[in-house]
Amino acid sequence: MPSISMYRASVPVFLKVLNNLNHIVDKAVVYSAEKNIDPTVLLNARLAPNMFTFTRQIQIATDQIKGCVSRLAGVDVPRYEDNEATFAEVKARIEKTIAYVSTFKPEQIDGTEDKHISLKLGPNQYEFKGIDYLLNSVTMNVYFHYTTAYAILRHNGLEIGKDDFLGK
C-alpha cells in the first residue's frame, strides 16, 4: 500500500487555501470600494443568524492550519489575538499564517501519521493519530470555514466563482 506524505497533504494544500483566501479578500476590498459598501458590512456578514461572521471564518481557518502544522511538527502553536476588524487586518492574519506555514519542511511533518495528537477544546478532550487529525479533522474544518467565507462574500454580491475558489 503506498504511503502518504503528511507534508504534501498539509503544507502545500494549506498554502493554496490561504493564497486563495488572500485573493478573494483582495476582490472583496475592490468590490466594497466600487459599490460603496462599508467594509464592516462584509466583514460581519454571515450566512445565517447562528453562524459565525466572515472574519471569524478566516480566524478559525487560519487557527486550524497553524495549529495542525505546529502539532504535527511538535512545536508550540502561535497564538493570534482574534481582533481583526478591517480587511487589512484580515489580510495581515492570512499573510502571517502563510509566512508561518512556509517555514515548515517535509522532514518536520513526514512520518507523523501515527503521532498522538491530544486536543482539549472547551470541556471536550479529543485524541487522534496524526493522519486522522490531518485528514478527518483539520482538512475538513479548513475547507468548511474556507467555503463558508467564500459563500458569505458570494451571497453578498461579490462576483467570484469556482476559479477563485480553486485558484490557479
Determine, yes or no, domain membership for 33: yes
- For residue range 1-38, what is the model confidence (pLDDT) as tens digits? 457 799 999 999 999 999 999 999 999 999 999 999 99
- In percent, the amount of the chain with pLDDT more than 90 equals 95
- In percent, the amount of the chain with pLDDT more than 70 equals 99
Across all residues in the chain, what is the average pLDDT?
96
Determine, yes or no, domain membership for 40: yes
3-state helix, strand and coil shares in percent for the chain, rounded to the nearest 5: 60, 5, 35
Determine, yes or no, domain membership for 45: yes
Determine, yes or no, domain membership for 5: no
pLDDT higher than threshold 90 for residue 168: no
Determine, yes or no, domain membership for 4: no
- For residue range 86-114, what is the model confidence (pLDDT) as tens digits? 999 999 999 999 999 999 999 999 999 99
List the domain range (segments joined by +) for residue 154. 11-166
Determine, yes or no, domain membership for 110: yes
Q: Which of 107, 127, 125 is nearest to 117 (CA)?
A: 127
pLDDT higher than threshold 80 for residue 165: yes
Q: So what's the pLDDT on residue 2? A: 55
Residue 162: half-sphere exposure toward Cβ, Cα within 13 Å: 0
What CATH code is carried by the domain that includes residue 83?
A: 1.20.120.450
What average pLDDT does range 58-79 have in this prediction?
98
- What is the number of domains present in the chain? 1
What average pLDDT does range 140-157 have in this prediction?
98
Q: Is 79 left (phi over 0), alpha (psi -120 to 50) or beta?
A: beta
Determine, yes or no, domain membership for 2: no
Cβ neighbors of 60 (< 8 A, separation 6 or more) are 52, 141, 145
Determine, yes or no, domain membership for 155: yes
